[in-house]
Structure formats: C-alpha cells, structure tokens
C-alpha cells in the first residue's frame, strides 16, 4: 500500500502513545524502513506487520488497532490532509455513504497505482443501510468498522453498525448493517 497508510499508523501511535512506543513497534516488526514516503508503494505485508507489532507492543487486540486506525484515517489523515476531498464526499452521513462507491475514483488521480477497496450501498429503509465491502486484501474488516465510525463522528451522527456476513473467496466480501440513530 502507499506509504501514506504506514505514515498514518505511525501518526496514530506517536500522537497517542509516544515516539518510544513507535520505535519499539518498528524494532518488533523487523521492518527496515524507518521513514515512509507518502506516494511510494510498499508491500502490503509491511502494513500488516506494523499492525501486528502495534498490537503486541501496545497490548491491544489487532481488531482494536485496526479500528483505531480506521478512525484516525478519516478524522486525521482524510479530514486534515485531504479536507476538500472529504467535503466533496457529502454533506451528511447518508450522502457520504451514497457517494462512497465513487470515492476512491477521485483518489486515483493522486495515487494512480492505488488498489482501492470497492463499496456498494443498498438502502433498506430510510435509516438502514447495507454496506458491501470488497477487497483484494484479507483481514481489514475492523479497519472498515473504524472508518465508518470515523465518518459518523465527522458528521456528529450516531450510528450502530454490525457485521452481517463475511466471505473470503477470490475477493474479500463483508456485508455490514448500518443504522442511523436520531
């Protein structure tokens, strides 16, 4: 994945746990790079190793690291570095969700070698959404939980979200039910 993803894990750790913990995570992961370049591609393995090492060093479940990372991605990386793109995604939570399937199309203009996730939205009722997430990568379900909660927080929208099913065939496919709470 592009270096900006690994930079975000670094940002999340350094801001919340300090530089020493990050140094320890790098040491534990055995990764040689100490500095990631945002628009350079790195092996996906590096990102997964950083998450695994963060979970060991910070004594958190890897699901919790991925969720915190998803929220950080939206509220810090997305909102602070790409505010205009995030604003163009919609004016409220429902609109942002409706536009989510097209979101990474615009990101590909900045990161042309992107291997983006795919999203599909089904509106069950006015306040119930089914979100399908497809990926060439495995194991990012809790990252998606964090991302969607981050988007809800960005719009100060209370939601409930649950995983309905998970399939791992040639592509990873998670189905989530999201309820918008008044």
Q: Which residues bind ligand HEM (CB under 6 A)?
A: 1-2, 4-5, 74, 78, 82, 85-86, 103-104, 107, 111, 114-115, 117, 135-137, 140, 143-144, 147
Nearest to ligand HEM of 85, 177 (CB atom): 85
Nearest to ligand HEM of 26, 74 (CB atom): 74
From CA 178, how far away is CA 89, in angstroms rounded? 18
Nearest approach, Cβ of residue 93 and ligand HEM (Å): 12
Whether the CB-CB separation of 128 and 178 falls below 8 Å is answered with: yes
Q: Phi and psi (nearest 5°) for 126?
A: -55, -40
Nearest approach, Cβ of residue 182 and ligand HEM (Å): 23
Whether the CB-CB separation of 34 and 24 falls below 8 Å is answered with: no
Q: Is the dihedral of CA 7, 83, 41, 1 positive or negative?
A: positive
Nearest approach, Cβ of residue 100 and ligand HEM (Å): 6
Residues β-bridged to residue 177: 130, 162
Nearest to ligand HEM of 19, 39 (CB atom): 39
Nearest approach, Cβ of residue 115 and ligand HEM (Å): 4
Nearest to ligand HEM of 22, 73 (CB atom): 73
In terms of Cα–Cα distance, which of 33, 136, 59 is closest to 6?
A: 33
Nearest approach, Cβ of residue 5 and ligand HEM (Å): 5
Whether the CB-CB separation of 175 and 124 falls below 8 Å is answered with: no
Whether the CB-CB separation of 50 and 58 falls below 8 Å is answered with: no
Residues β-bridged to residue 148: none
Nearest to ligand HEM of 17, 82 (CB atom): 82
């Amino acid at each position: 994945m592009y270096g900006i993803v690994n930079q975000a894990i670094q940002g999340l750790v350094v801001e919340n746990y300090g530089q020493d913990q990050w140094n320890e995570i790098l040491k534990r992961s055995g990764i040689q790079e100490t500095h990631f370049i945002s628009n350079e591609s790195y092996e996906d393995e590096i990102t997964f190793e950083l998450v695994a090492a963060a979970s060991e060093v910070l004594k958190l479940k890897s699901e919790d690291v991925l969720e915190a990372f998803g929220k950080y991605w939206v509220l810090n990386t997305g909102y602070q570095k790409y505010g205009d793109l995030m604003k163009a995604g919609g004016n409220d939570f429902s609109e942002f969700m409706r536009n989510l399937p097209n979101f990474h199309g615009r990101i590909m203009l900045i990161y042309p070698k992107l291997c983006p996730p795919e999203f599909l939205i089904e509106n069950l009722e006015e306040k119930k959404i089914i979100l399908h997430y497809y990926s060439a990568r495995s194991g990012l379900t809790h990252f998606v939980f964090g991302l969607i909660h981050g988007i809800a927080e960005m719009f100060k929208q209370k939601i409930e979200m649950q995983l309905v099913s998970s399939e791992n065939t040639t592509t990873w496919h998670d189905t989530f039910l999201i309820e918008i709470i008044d």
